[in-house]
Structure 1
Amino acid sequence: MIKIKKASEPVSDDDGFRILVDSTWPVEFSRDELKINAWFKEIAAEKNTEEYLSQLKKKIKLIKHLKLLERVKKQLTLVYWSEKKGNVLILKNYLDGKSRVIRSSVGRIHG
């Protein structure tokens, strides 16, 4: 299961494995305060929301790593700091397989 939290929201026991998905560290918080297990700054949006999905398709190794973490850890929390929550929602939907663009680009699996 994957959920989303803003860095300023309190850490809870059910957050599971916490991953910061912003390109910059929130200077207001230390690593201990945020309880971040990993920082995937490479997966952060470099441009606007409309272009983020195409960026994710180019970062397939990071996506596969996140999917593996989800299977192993059972609970992932994507932590973000920027004001662009839309990009984090796109990433979550991408990981959950809920993006229409992803489903249509994968094609048919069975004959």
Structure 2
Amino acid sequence: MIRIKRAYKEAEDTDGYRVLVDRLWPRGVSKEKEHLDLWLKEIAPSNELRKWFNHEPDKFSQFKEKYLIELNAGEANDACQRLIQIINKHPIVTLVYGAKDEVHNNAVVLQEMLEKVNQ
């Protein structure tokens, strides 16, 4: 099972293996309080794509297309393979992200892509 959760929500035992999937550490969140098993920066959108998207919902479909292209190349693809291995080892994996928008963010795209891969 692959879940997503904002970094600002309390970590729970039911989260399973917790992976931060942002390139930047969430503001105002202490590393101790976050209870992460892994910070996988390389799987996050590139700085250029992140800045271009700027969490604008009207750009989300284009962002998703561009992000999926990034995930199939270079270090992002290596990070995807690592995350797939983690998902295969752990019954529950929670992708942790910092964005305010719970619908239009990279974790949503990742979750959808990973669920398709793991079918």
State TM-score, norm by structure 1.
0.80
Distance in 2, Cα, partners of 1:33 & 1:27: 13
The answer for unaligned runs of 5 or more in structure 2 is 54-62
Structure number with larger C-alpha Rg: 1
Could you say what secondary structure the match of 1:18 adopts? strand
How many residues of Structure 1 are paired with residues of Structure 2 in the alignment? Answer: 98
Displacement after TM superposition at 1:45 (Å): 1.3
Q: 1:73-84, aligned counterparts within 5 Å?
A: 73-83=90-100
Aligned partner of 1:44 in structure 2 is 44
Identity %: 33
Task: Give the CA RMSD over aligned residues.
Answer: 1.6
Q: Deviations over 1:49-100 (max 9, x none)?
A: 24111111112221111111011121110000134643211111111117xx
State TM-score, norm by structure 2.
0.75
Distance in 1, Cα, partners of 2:100 & 2:27: 15
